[in-house]
Amino acid sequence: MEKKDLRRKSTLEEIRQRFDKDVERFSNLDTGQQTTIDAPLTLELTTSAAFCVKPDAVNLLDIGCGAGNYTLKMLEKVPNLNCTLIDLSLPMLEKAKERVSAVTTGKVETIQMDILQADLPENQYDIVLAAAVLHHLREDQDWETVFHKIYRSLKPGGSFWISDLISHQPEALDQLFTERYGHYLEGLGGVEYRQHVLTYIEAEDSPRSVTYQLELMKKAGFRYTDVLHKNACFAAFGGIK
């Protein structure tokens, strides 16, 4: 999947429009993330890992925050964090700010912007979370830019955790795991649902392999990297500065 033509993929504006219409569904873990295999588990693992690495964390950055589910789970472990929420969708950001502000006395800042364009402060965050968002990056340079930007934004000892759709290499493995994912989707909603989800993934997403992303972390300067969980086309993993 890493070698496919990216020129026909959905634009950021098209992606934003789709998520603008889906705020309520993504505010509910039972419905908003049902297409993600093991979503509750990866939510728990990434936030637990962030807590273990930095239990005294103060500042959190949630990239592609959606309706705020990952930040809310992080606040269960580290209450009253200062939270910076980034997303393309203004309705998503508004919902996230409403939900997060209700459970933290820390500062809640929202930024409606593509992470590629966002100007992040250096040495600011103890925790950076990115759930189901980086697969919208396209070219190699985009991926490198974002990973280096996140590394610079972290305090020493801070950590960056990803939960996302992934690809595999070689192509034969990618086909194997895509087929397994298709069976999972068919079990959720039948053949038509399977085709619906796989069609919009093909249109919108350009995921990279876990290996590719861990290598980018090392290139950016992360001292430690690890995989928390992997199942078919989904994985949770991260790095520590």
23 lies in some domain:
yes
**Residue 140: domain span:** 12-168+206-240
Please report which helix (H) or strand (E) contains residue 98, including its range: helix 90-101
Of the candidates 109, 110, 92, 50, the residue with the CA atom closest to the CA atom of residue 74: 50
Q: Which two tokens stand for residue 12?
A: 């950021």
7 lies in some domain:
no
Q: What's the total number of domains in the chain? A: 1
H runs (alpha helix) in 102-240: 140-153, 171-204, 210-220
Check: CB of residue 86 under 8 Å from CB of residue 113: yes
* Weakly modelled stretches of the chain, pLDDT under 50: 1-3
What pLDDT score does 1 carry? 39
2 lies in some domain:
no
124 lies in some domain:
yes
pLDDT tens per residue, range 89-110? 999 999 999 999 999 999 999 9
Check: CB of residue 136 under 8 Å from CB of residue 27: no
20 lies in some domain:
yes
Backbone dihedral angles phi then psi of residue 197, each to the nearest 5 degrees: -70, -45
121 lies in some domain:
yes
Q: What is the CATH number of the domain that holds 157?
A: 3.40.50.150
pTM over 0.95: no
Q: Cβ neighbours of residue 123 under 8 Å, at least 6 residues apart?
A: 152, 153, 154, 155, 156
219 lies in some domain:
yes
What pLDDT score does 21 carry? 66
